[in-house]
Structures are given as structure tokens and as C-alpha cells.
Amino acid sequence: MKAKLLSRQTLLVTLLALTLAACYTNPFTHRRELMLFTPQEEANLGLSAFNEVKQSTPISTDSNQNSMVTRVGQRISSVVNLPYAQWEFVAFQDQTPNAFCLPGGKVGVFTGILPITLDDNGLATVVAHEVAHAVARHGGERMSHQLLVELGGMSLAVALQKKPQKTQELAQLAYGIGTTVGHTLPHSRKTELEADYMGLLFMAKAGYDPREAVNFWKRFKVWGDQQGTRMPEFLSTHPLNSKRIKELEKHMPEAMQLFSKQG
């Protein structure tokens, strides 16, 4: 009985130690995030998820769209530090307004978002926001929670070996691309605001006018309202509220200071 109690205590201590060790501190907001795997493992996972999207979604044949996505993506990526990134920017032919940045620097923009982003500043808002999710390791954080809940805290390497199908599905769900599972998890309000803040700084640093971020989200809200009950994916994973605009405006002086130092 005593031995059993001891072992339970040992287990608790081990779990606690594991949780404390398995943390990532966001360098911009200093928030501690649960992280059960390394940036390299995360980058590998991002790469295989990206290959899946490439297999299921056609790439745009419009050279203007492709060069716009590459031009904006390269400028945003040049001001961030994303470990193990092998940057790639792809315009996917899909009328759903959506975009993502996977760990490993794999950025996808669905052509359906381009009528709402309108110009380079608008697209920079979206790309910077998605790149911010990747830099903040939000996908990795969600993936860690999923591993903990659904696979009992298995390490990524073990999970991939024992339950490869399930692990890939969890990754797609966590990274918001949901191509296999058909749905995605909404970002939490906390991680959305974190990505907005970091994205605002990134776009300003890259020389894009940060005030255009507010205009983009306003246009996006108008567009969303016009859709009525049909809830598009990007909108369901990026809930819009007045809090988002208010917070962007709160951080605007800091972003404008960075922007004024460019060009």
C-alpha cells in the first residue's frame, strides 16, 4: 500500500517535472506554453502537413497571384526568426478565404482571400498574422495539448511510430489545415490576440503600413457579414470582434515607431 502510494507520488512529481520542462516561453509576450516537442520535430511535422495540402489542393496558375504571395511572404519572413525554416510561399487555387503558416516556414495563401486583402499591405496583414502563429508555436502548443489529451502524453516520436495516422490527423487539426479531418480547431482568443500583436510588429518591420491591418480586419468583417450563415473556415478559426480592433489600435504606436524606421 505504502509502495503504491509512493509510486503514485513519484508519478505525480515526474509529470509535474515533465510539464515544467516541456514549456516554451513566447519571446514577445512572455507567456509560457505547453510544448512537448522540439522545433525540429515541429518543422518536420509542418513539412509533411504541407505536402498533404499540396496533394489535395491545386496551386494557382496565375503568375500575378503567385508573385504577390512570394513577394509579400519573403519580406515578412526576412524579419522573423523561425527555427529550421525553409521558407516556401504558395498561392493555392481555392475560393475559401484562408491562409496558414506551418512550422518549417511553409506558407499557403488561398486565392479566395485575395479579393479581401486587396493589395500588398492587406496580404502582409494576413501573412504576418499567420507567420506570427508559427513563431509563437501556437500549432505546436495545440498539438501538445492534443497529444496529452488523446494519446496520454506520448512523445511525438513515439506517437508517430505507434499511431502515425492519428498523429498526422492531430497535427492537421492543430495547424488549422484540416484537410483530412475536414474541420479545424478555432484559435483561442488569447492566441489570436498574440498573433495580431506580433503580426503587427512583423509587418511594420518589413515596411508595410501597420494601420492597414485594422482596415483589413474591418473589410473581412464586412465580407463575413455578407456570407450570412455560411461560416467560412478562416472566419471560424479567426473569430472577429471589436476587441481585436481595439487591441490592434492599442499596439499601433509601438508598430508605427518600427514602421517609421523603415525606408
For Zn ion, give the closer residue by CB, 160 or 234: 234
Among 130, 141, 194, 233, which one carries the catalytic annotation? 130
Q: Does 132 engage in binding with Zn ion (CB under 5 A)? A: no
Three-class DSSP category at 35: coil
Spatial CA neighbour of 114 closest among 129, 97, 130, 89: 97
Residue 212 CA to residue 3 CA, distance in Å, equals 63
Q: Check if 130 is active-site.
A: yes
Site string for Zn ion, 196-235 (x = CB under 5 A): ----------------------------------------
Q: Is there binding between residue 136 and Zn ion (CB under 5 A)? A: no
Query: Which CB atom, from 187 or from 205, has the smaller least distance to Zn ion?
Result: 187
What are the b/e assignments for 53-92, b being 16+ CB within 10 Å? beeebeebeeeebbebbbebbebbbebbebebbebbbbbb
Q: For the CB of residue 184, give the shortest distance to Zn ion in the complex, in Å.
A: 11
Pairing label, strands 99-102, 32-34: unpaired
CA 203 to chain centre: 15
Q: Binding string to Zn ion for residues 234 to 253, with x set by CB under 5 A, is what?
A: ----x---------------
Q: Is 195 in the site for Zn ion (CB under 5 A)?
A: yes
Q: Which of residues 170-189 bind Zn ion (CB under 5 A)?
A: 187
Q: Which spans of this chain sit near Zn ion (rule: CB under 5 A)?
A: 187, 195, 238
